């Protein structure tokens, strides 16, 4: 499929949309926050974002959607941890309202596709991606193609259990101690809040005392400003992330693991502790030569991957 398309990345708290060309360049970009998580509000926000992007480029030929859900081949969303999309024929509903071809896939799959096609893992055949945001999305490119599992519900890597006796996972997940609980944006916020309570004289401790909500974004901001307690909180999250990455290295033996998403903005403050844990815990043949790298496209990876899905007509 030639020309330009629209890529949509529907995350747990916001939606990114853009017009994407054949080289995976973005020509128009918009951000929208969800007005609600019920189906009507989600669909309305998606439609409005597409209409805004189409106004900038009326000749788009298709729309690709990456959503935080388990999606079957017919474009039906079967389960979502963060949005109310269980049992929803989302592709059909959107095609009816948008009058343009729609393709739908898991958001983590599409972020991985973008980074393998044109980003931090360009040219590699075996790539794993984790997108750290409200939750943790996972994506696998194995032997050069997206791997989705027998029923296309695979690669939910954020829900690997790293502590079977840990707290309940967030959202609709029935597990305890998932990686998502510890290394997502809310996980960073929780680590920061615990650190602040232990050290009320620190910068992050004073923020807590003053009544500020300790979010992952705030922890990262304070760490960049030099607060050692916030930096230590990020390091603890990075170690937890490393436990998950060591298992991923052992299971898939990828050439690279790409880390993206808004919560990965902390950069090396997260990844360096994670790499040290992988060096300690991963099996030597699996860790040797493994690259653990930052996503090239940042928060735009899912949107660009959704564009790549639409450009390829779903054949990825």
- SS3 helix, strand, coil % of the chain, rounded to 5? 45, 20, 35
Q: Using the CB atoms, write b or e for 212-221: b if 16+ within 10 Å.
A: eebbbbbbbb
> pLDDT band for position 2 (50/70/90)?
low
Nearest to residue 112, comparing CAs of 139, 149, 80, 87?
139
pLDDT reading at 295 higher than 80: yes
pLDDT score, position 11: 84
Give the mean pLDDT of the chain. 95
Residue 9, beta-bridge partner list? 16, 66
Distance in angstroms (rounded) separating the CA atoms of residues 222 and 206: 11
Q: What is the pLDDT of residues 135-161, one digit of tens each?
A: 999 999 999 999 999 999 999 999 999
- Integer angstrom CA distances of residue 219 from 119, 187, 193, 266, 269: 27, 11, 9, 9, 11
Q: What is the pLDDT of residues 197-231, one digit of tens each?
A: 999 999 999 999 999 999 999 999 999 999 999 99
Nearest to residue 146, comparing CAs of 308, 311, 294?
308
pLDDT reading at 1 higher than 80: no
Beta strand pairing status for 5-10 and 14-20? antiparallel
Coil, helix or strand at residue 33: strand
Distance in angstroms (rounded) separating the CA atoms of residues 91 and 107: 14
Distance in angstroms (rounded) separating the CA atoms of residues 243 and 166: 14
Quick check: 60 and 28 in contact, CB under 8 A? no
Q: What is the pLDDT of residues 93-141, one digit of tens each?
A: 999 999 899 999 999 999 999 999 999 999 999 999 999 999 999 999 9
How open is the CA angle 72-298-162, to the nearest 5 degrees? 65
Average pLDDT value for residue range 301-315: 95
The residue with tokens 């998403």 is: 261
- CA 82 from centre of chain: 12
Instruction: For the chain, list the domains and their CATH numbers.
Output: 5-113+300-311 (3.30.420.40), 124-295 (3.30.420.40)
pLDDT score, position 174: 94
Q: How far from each other are the two terminal CA atoms of the chain, in whole angstroms?
A: 13
What's the DSSP call for residue 285? H
Quick check: 244 and 110 in contact, CB under 8 A? no
Q: What is the pLDDT of residues 51-72, one digit of tens each?
A: 999 999 998 989 999 999 999 9
């Amino acid at each position: 499929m030639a020309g330009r398309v629209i890529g949509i990345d529907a995350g747990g708290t916001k939606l990114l949309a853009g017009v994407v060309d054949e080289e995976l360049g973005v020509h128009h970009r918009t951000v929208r926050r969800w007005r609600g998580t019920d189906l009507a509000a989600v669909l309305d926000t998606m439609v409005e974002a597409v209409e805004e992007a189409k106004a900038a480029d009326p000749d788009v030929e298709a729309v690709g959607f990456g959503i935080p859900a388990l999606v079957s081949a017919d474009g039906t969303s079967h389960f979502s941890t963060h949005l109310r999309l269980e049992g929803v024929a989302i592709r059909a509903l959107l095609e009816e309202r948008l009058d343009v071809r729609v393709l739908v896939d898991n958001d983590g799959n599409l972020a991985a596709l973008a980074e393998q096609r044109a980003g931090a893992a360009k040219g590699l055949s075996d790539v794993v991606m984790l997108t750290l945001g409200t939750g943790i999305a996972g994506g696998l490119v194995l032997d050069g193609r997206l791997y989705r599992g027998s029923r296309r519900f695979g690669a939910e890597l954020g829900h690997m259990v790293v502590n079977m006796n840990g707290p309940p996972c967030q959202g609709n997940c029935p597990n305890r101690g998932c990686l998502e609980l510890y290394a997502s944006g809310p996980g960073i916020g929780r680590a920061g809040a615990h650190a602040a309570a232990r050290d009320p004289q620190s910068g992050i401790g004073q923020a807590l005392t003053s009544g500020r909500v300790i979010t992952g974004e705030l922890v990262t901001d304070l760490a960049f400003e030099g607060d050692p307690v916030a930096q230590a909180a990020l390091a603890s999250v990075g170690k937890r992330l490393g436990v998950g990455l060591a298992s991923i290295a052992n299971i898939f033996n990828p050439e690279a693991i790409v880390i993206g998403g808004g919560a990965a903005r902390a950069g090396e403050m997260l990844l360096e502790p994670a790499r040290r844990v992988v060096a300690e815990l991963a099996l030597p043949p699996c860790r040797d030569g493994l690259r653990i790298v930052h996503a090239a496209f940042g928060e735009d990876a899912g949107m660009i991957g959704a564009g790549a899905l639409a450009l390829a007509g779903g054949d990825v």
